[in-house]
Amino acid sequence: MLYSCIELLPQSSNTQIPNHVKGSKILWILEKIIEHMIEALKSFFISQKYYEFDPHVGETACQIRAYHIFELSCLIKKYKINIKNKLHSLENLKKIILVEIERLQSSESKKIKGLKPVSLEVFLVKQQFFVTFNSLEIYLFLCRFLSIYKIFDKYQEPIINYPLLCRNLEINKNLARKIIHQYQIKLSKISCDKILGATKKNYEFILSYKYLSQFLHLDDDGRNVLPCYLVTKVLLKCLQKKDNVILIVCKRKNHFGMIDNIVLPFKFNSQGEFAYFPTDKIEKKQNRPCYVIEGIVNYERNNIEPEKSYISRFLKTGLKKIILANMAIHPQYSGKKLYKLSINPFHYKKNNINKKTCQIEKEFSIMRKTAKLIGCSYENPKLFYIKHIYCDNLVRHTTTINNSKFIMNHNNTSQTLIFI
């Protein structure tokens, strides 16, 4: 499916272009969008910097996008030739747009009278700037755009760097907010469609498309949202393919804020389970993507337990149990409007109870209690409390973590962070 470049502009296709000044301003934004598209395609297909596709959308679906990027990374070889051609055409288009902007802004152009107002779509078609993108290109653009303008506040909560966005696109803050909101809504819909589509394709899932779609809602900001517990049950099934790697990153700290990072890689094996394998068995030249689950471990006392003891405790509990317990205790939805459903996504299903709903709701309730008991909650993070999920290169990530052990950090603060 193809999408027009207007999908990425803050104006609608019917927006009237009354003069050259208005036309040049829109072309300037389009040129910047094309530049960001070029950078996104290069970053993913050439540099393979998967960590640059970790967007701030503001709902609870970072685990979906992590899997989506992880899955798309397998298509790099398939699309590489087409992407090179696309990059070449976009580079040329970018140069032509800049020339046209200069012409429109010239003193001679400003003197031209009687420019007949036309719609944005007609304007771009006449100028031969009506470029289209496929769904893969749109997705990568949105992910990277909402990643590179993501920063963290003093509480380590993700926010958008609006001053930088306004400078780069030369737009005011209102227009910048409109663009970000538009992109976040588009990305949230793609994320939910991805999960719902997975249940349609694979009939082995316990959760069917018809069942899961009942839990689809819009949050306060109009973003599509699904409960993260049910989403994760689908994702764990999707991840069950030979040699897929889940990388657990444990950031441990004690009362004084001393931190060390422990990396626990799990690989899906021929026995149908994710098995732990030590980091020293990761080949240095192994350039492969992995599904990264990052979390914290807090100790009340001054000392941190020995690494082997912690790993043993983690493995004894089990990867799947730890993940599902976390997902049950985390907010299921974003926003105030869905607060009750955020605690219990089955809250309004009381009048529509069936055997499957009873079974899953019971499992969900048990997992919430389990999270508090075993140390997978915000109040009790003694085992592993998930903070974020994203896709990264396995070797790059393990190298980064292993080189950062035992770092003192007196400014580290504990906070609740819903999945971004």
Q: Is residue 327 part of a domain?
A: yes
Q: Is residue 413 part of a domain?
A: no
Segment 185-201 mean pLDDT: 94
- Is residue 6 located within the same domain as residue 140? yes
The residue from 119, 154, 189 where one domain ends is 189
Q: Is residue 159 part of a domain?
A: yes
pLDDT of 139-178, one tens digit each?
999 999 999 999 999 988 999 999 999 999 999 999 999 9
- Is residue 168 located within the same domain as residue 264? no
Of the spans 71-85, 112-126, 162-176, 334-348, which averages the highest pLDDT?
162-176
Complete DSSP assignment for 87-137: HHHHHHHHHHHHHHHHHHHSHHHHT---PPPEEHHHHHHHTT---EEEHHH
Complete DSSP assignment for 351-384: GG--HHHHHHHHHHHHHHHHHHHHT-SSS--SS-
Beta 289-298 vs 245-253: how paired, if at all?
parallel
State the pLDDT confidence band at 416, using cuts at 50, 70 and 90: very low
- Is residue 174 located within the same domain as residue 40? yes
Segment 328-344 mean pLDDT: 95
Q: Is residue 301 part of a domain?
A: yes
Segment 342-364 mean pLDDT: 80
Please state, rounded to an integer, the average pLDDT across all residues of the chain: 87
Segment 227-250 mean pLDDT: 92
Domain residue limits at 245: 239-408
Given a cut of 90, whether residue 127 has pLDDT beyond it is no
pLDDT of residue 401: 52
The residue from 174, 189, 204 where one domain ends is 189
State the pLDDT confidence band at 213, using cuts at 50, 70 and 90: very high
The residues with which 385 forms a beta bridge, in sequence order, are 296
The residue from 189, 204, 221 where one domain ends is 189
Number of domains in the chain: 2
Lowest mean pLDDT: which of 113-127, 164-178, 249-263, 372-386?
113-127
- Is residue 293 located within the same domain as residue 378? yes
Phi and psi torsions of 249, nearest 5° = -115, 110
Given a cut of 70, whether residue 338 has pLDDT beyond it is yes
Given a cut of 90, whether residue 114 has pLDDT beyond it is no
Given a cut of 70, whether residue 192 has pLDDT beyond it is yes
- Is residue 309 located within the same domain as residue 184? no
pLDDT of residue 29: 96
